[in-house]
Copies of this chain bind each other. A is one copy, B any other.
Amino acid sequence: MKIALDAMGGDFGSDPLVAGADLARRDFGTEVVLVGDPAVIRERLRALSLPPTTFEIVEAKDVIDMTDKASDVRKRRDSTVWVSAELVKKGHVQGAVSAGHSGASLAAAMWVLGRISGVERPTIGTILPCRPSRKHASHPTPPSPETVPDSGHFILVDGGANVDCKPSHLVSFARMGRLLSRHLFSVDQPRVSLLSNGEEETKGNELVARTIDLLRGRGEGSEKGEAYPWFTGPIESRDIFSGETDVVVCDGFVGNIVLKEAEGLAQTIMEMMKDAARSDLRSKIGGLLLRPALSRMKKRIDWAEYGGAPLLGVGGLFVICHGRSNALAIKNAIGMADRLASSGLTEALKAEMAPAASSEGGA
C-alpha cells in the first residue's frame, strides 16, 4: 500500500516523522509518500544517511500550527494536511497519516474527502489498551474464545471530535466503531457498549437514555429504527479497561475526558511508584530488579505501540496521531493505515452507513 505522511506536522518537527516513515518502509514494506518542504525532508534523509530517492516527496510548504484555527485549513490549500488529503482523494495513495493539528486534519479530511453518505458527524476511533478479556458476564450470548481474540485493546469512539452530540450521532459512532474493531483486531463479533454512569439501562443522562432507546429499536417517530443485536448495553468507566468490551461509545467531550484521565492517571501512578522505589535502600534494590518487567508492561500500555487513531465517516482513510508522536508511534500509525487500507475499511463503512441499503449491523 501507498500511504501519504504529513512530514511537517507534530510537536517535534520532521525528525520523528521521517524516521518513522523509514521504520515503516523497512518493517512493513509500506510505500510512504512524504508531504512537506522538499529541502527540509532531504536534510532529514541526509541526517539518517538515506539516499534522497528513498521516498517519493510531494511538495507542500505550509504547515497548520497548533495555534491556528481548524477551519483555517480551508484557505490554506498548500498546507501539508490539505495536500495529504488530496493525494488520498486522487487515488495516488490509499491513506494518509498526520501528527499535526487534529482539528485541522479532521477539517481537511471532511472538505477534501467528503462525508460518507448516511454519516452526519465523522468521528475519531481511538485505540486504548486493556487487560486481555477473560469474562463476558454482561454479554447475552458469550462468544467463544475463537470469535473474540484477546486483542488487549478496545476502541473509544468518539475520541474527541464532536463535543456536543445527538443520540443519532452516538448510534452512528457505535456502528462505525464496530467496523473498525473488526478491521483492526479481526474481532468477528465485537462487543459494543455505551459509556454510562451505571450498568442498568435505567441510568444514564438524557443523551445516553435516548441513545439506548435507539440502539434497542425503541426510538420515537422518525428516530425509531432497528434494534442492533450487537449492542451489549451500558458500561461503567471502571470496567472499560478490564477487557469486557471491544468498543466504548460516548460523545467527544466525555471521550476526551476519558482519554486524558487515563493518560494523566497512568503517569501519576508511575511517578508515585518511582517515588516509592526511591524511598529507601530496600525499595531501591526492589525497583531495580523489577525494572525489566515494568518496562515490558509499560511498552504494552504505551500509546506509541498503536500509534494513531483513524477518522471514521470521511470518504477516505486518514489516521491522526498524537502531536508528541515519536518515530515508533509514526511507524505504527503508518502500519495501521496500511492495514486498514488493505482490509477496505472505508468501503465497508460506506456499505454499512448507506441510508438505502439494509444495515449489515441489523442482520
* Residue A221, interface by CB 8 Å: no
- Complex-state Cα separation, A258 to B301, whole angstroms: 20
For the complex formed, measure the closest distance between the CB of A275 and the CB atoms of chain B, giving whole angstroms. 8
Q: Which residues of B contact A283 (CB under 8 A)?
A: 289-290, 292-293
Contact across chains for B290 and A286 when beta carbons are under 8 A apart: yes
**Pick from B208, B258, B265: contact of A266, CB under 8 Å:** B265
* Residue A348, interface by CB 8 Å: no
* Residue A342, interface by CB 8 Å: no
Q: Which residue of B lies closest to A237 (CB)?
A: B261
Q: Which residue of B lies closest to A284 (CB)?
A: B289
Q: Which residues of B contact A236 (CB under 8 A)?
A: 256, 260, 264
- Whether A131 contacts B241 in the complex (CB less than 8 A), given A265-B265, A277-B293, comes out as no
Contact across chains for B293 and A205 when beta carbons are under 8 A apart: no
- Complex-state Cα separation, A205 to B160, whole angstroms: 11
- Complex-state Cα separation, A306 to B290, whole angstroms: 31
* Residue A54, interface by CB 8 Å: no
Contact across chains for A266 and B264 when beta carbons are under 8 A apart: no
Contact across chains for A197 and B271 when beta carbons are under 8 A apart: no
- Complex-state Cα separation, A240 to B258, whole angstroms: 12
- Complex-state Cα separation, A267 to B238, whole angstroms: 9
* Residue A40, interface by CB 8 Å: no
* Residue A48, interface by CB 8 Å: no
Contact across chains for A262 and B265 when beta carbons are under 8 A apart: yes
Residue of A206, A241, A287 with most partner-chain B CB within 10 A: A241
Chain A residues touching B, range = 35 or more
**Copies of this protein, total:** 2
- Whether A268 contacts B289 in the complex (CB less than 8 A), given A257-B254, A294-B276, comes out as no
* Residue A285, interface by CB 8 Å: yes
Contact across chains for A237 and B257 when beta carbons are under 8 A apart: yes
For the complex formed, measure the closest distance between the CB of A205 and the CB atoms of chain B, giving whole angstroms. 4
* Residue A253, interface by CB 8 Å: yes
Q: Which residue of B lies closest to A160 (CB)?
A: B197
- Complex-state Cα separation, A294 to B272, whole angstroms: 9
Q: Which residue of B lies closest to A294 (CB)?
A: B276
The residues of A with any CB-CB pair to B shorter than 8 Å are 130-131, 160, 163-164, 195, 197-198, 203-206, 208, 236-242, 251-254, 256-258, 260-269, 271-273, 275-277, 279-280, 282-283, 285-294, 296-297, 300-301
> What are the nearest 8 A-B pairs in CB distance?
A286-B289, A238-B264, A286-B290, A197-B256, A238-B260, A237-B261, A276-B293, A283-B293
Knowing that A131-B272, A238-B267 touch, tell me 10 more A-B residue pairs with CB under 8 angstroms: A195-B257, A197-B252, A197-B260, A236-B264, A238-B260, A238-B261, A242-B264, A265-B265, A265-B266, A272-B297
